[in-house]
Amino acid sequence: MSSGWERMAAARDHAIRYGFIVLLFGLIAYFAIAADGFVSPQSAVFIFQSVAITGVLALGVTATLVVGGFDLSIGSVATSAMMAAAYVMVVLEQNAVVAVVACLLIGAIVGLINGWLIVYTRVPDLLATLGMMFLLVGLQRIPTEGRSIATGMTMPDGSVANGTFGAAFLALGRHRFDFFIPNLIPVSVVVLLVLAVLIWFFLEYTRFGRMMYAVGSNQRAAELAGAPVKAYKIWAYVISGVFASIGGILLAARLGRGDIASGNNLLLDAVAAALIGYAVLGAAKPNAFGTAVGAVFVGVLLQGLTMMNAPYYTQDFIKGVVLVVALVFTFALSGRGNR
């Protein structure tokens, strides 16, 4: 083999490994020059805030991707959690803690059902979670007969809902921590960072995370190595459900109402972030760090385009292009898709 050939192989290796990080910094550099005020703490925080909710969802779906599954119900779990939070506080007049617990429970239960459907009834993962998505989109509208939930709304039976979003709950969406500059970092960004570090540590450093990767790569081998494969798969969907419900809590806290029209883009954005994550650092597998970078990448792109006055309706198209390019990076260039 000539050294020229080896150099090419090495160059390709580098392109796969660092391509997306370089692309991210290139993008930031470009917007810094082209768009006024792009490089500022406020702009950075805005990007993080815009990706916080989809980032949390993306981290959850990463867990299901790791075990070789997929969860399409995350977007509808998040909106269901948002509606549930509003219902608990506004209609049932409970406090913030009850609302948060109710949301987390919903996420966990949906995750359990998804896992059960996939593991025990052998419904393929995409179909099971797709069905769950439709089910939840419908279910969340039943208690209020399709209306959004806000303080002072009229209930189907004619009564008026007088409960309010608790201040503590709203703080989850609106409070900002001081960080060098007063009122800089929103709670949602902190939640994103904490969850990202948690799931990254869990997947990379604990024996549970390692075995989840083994299950995703060769389920039979994992089983013959003594792993309770079914339990691992179900847990992955529970993690995904709970993370999605946390996203829903943040959404409810930001909006301050239960809005049936919001959250339409959550699924697409979260899945895009997780799949872009495959390409980061040449991992060629689902990973928490990549997912976080993927989420930031999408956020930077959209914020930059917005500041350059690109029309809003081009955003989905551009997200799609980025996703396809990332998938080419992962599967075609690294050649690992051939296996």
Partner 1 sequence: MGNDAVFRVDCLRKSFGPIEVLGGVSLDLHAGEVAVLMGANGAGKSTLVKIISGVYERGGGTMSLAGQNFAPKTPAGAIRAGVVTVHQNINDGVVADLDVATNLTLDRLSGSGAPILFNPGRVRREAKAVADRMGLMIDLKARIRDLSLADRQMVAIARAMAHRPKVLILDEPTSSLSSAEADRLFALLDRLREQGVAILYISHRMSDIRRLADRIVSMRDGVVSGVFDRKPLDYEGAVNAMLGRKIHLDRIVARNSARPVLTIDGLRIAEGSRPISLTLGDGEVVAITGLVGVGKTALAETLFGVRKPLTGTMVLNGKPYAPGSTGEAIAAGVFLVAKDRSENGIVGDFNIQENISLPFHKRMSRLSVLKRRIERATARQQIQELGIVCRSEKDEMSALSGGNQQKVMVARWMSQAAKLFILDEPFQGVDISARRDIAAKLRASANGRATLLFVTELDEALETADRILVMSEQTIVGEHRNADIDLERLLAEVAGGPLHSAA
Q: Which residues bind partner 1 (CB under 8 A)?
A: 205-208, 210-211, 213-214, 216-218, 220-228, 285, 339
| In the complex, least distance from residue 97 CB atom to partner 1, rounded to whole angstroms | 29
Pick 42 or 218: Cβ nearer partner 1: 218
Collapse the DSSP code of 335 into the 3-class scheme (helix H, G, I; strand E, B; otherwise coil) and give the result: coil
| In the complex, least distance from residue 23 CB atom to partner 1, rounded to whole angstroms | 24
Query: For the stretch 287-305, what's the b/e string if a residue is b when 16 or more beta carbons lie within 10 angstroms of its beta carbon?
Result: bbbbbbbbbbbbbbbbbbb
E strands along 55-187, which residues?
176-179, 181-186
Pick 237 or 278: Cβ nearer partner 1: 278
What is the distance between the alpha carbons of residues 54 and 57, in angstroms, rounded to a whole number? 5
What is the distance between the alpha carbons of residues 303 and 44, in angstroms, rounded to a whole number? 9
Pick 95 or 206: Cβ nearer partner 1: 206
What is the distance between the alpha carbons of residues 239 and 77, in angstroms, rounded to a whole number? 12
| In the complex, least distance from residue 259 CB atom to partner 1, rounded to whole angstroms | 40
Q: Could you identify the residue written with the tokens 């796969």?
A: 16
| In the complex, least distance from residue 88 CB atom to partner 1, rounded to whole angstroms | 34
- 106: part of which helix (H) or strand (E)? helix 96-119
Pick 8 or 225: Cβ nearer partner 1: 225
Task: Look up residue 154 and give its DSSP letter.
Answer: B
Pick 78 or 234: Cβ nearer partner 1: 234
Q: Could you identify the residue written with the tokens 């992955």?
A: 236
Pick 162 or 218: Cβ nearer partner 1: 218
How many residues are recorded in the chain? 339
| In the complex, least distance from residue 210 CB atom to partner 1, rounded to whole angstroms | 6
| In the complex, least distance from residue 291 CB atom to partner 1, rounded to whole angstroms | 17
What is the distance between the alpha carbons of residues 33 and 279, in angstroms, rounded to a whole number? 26
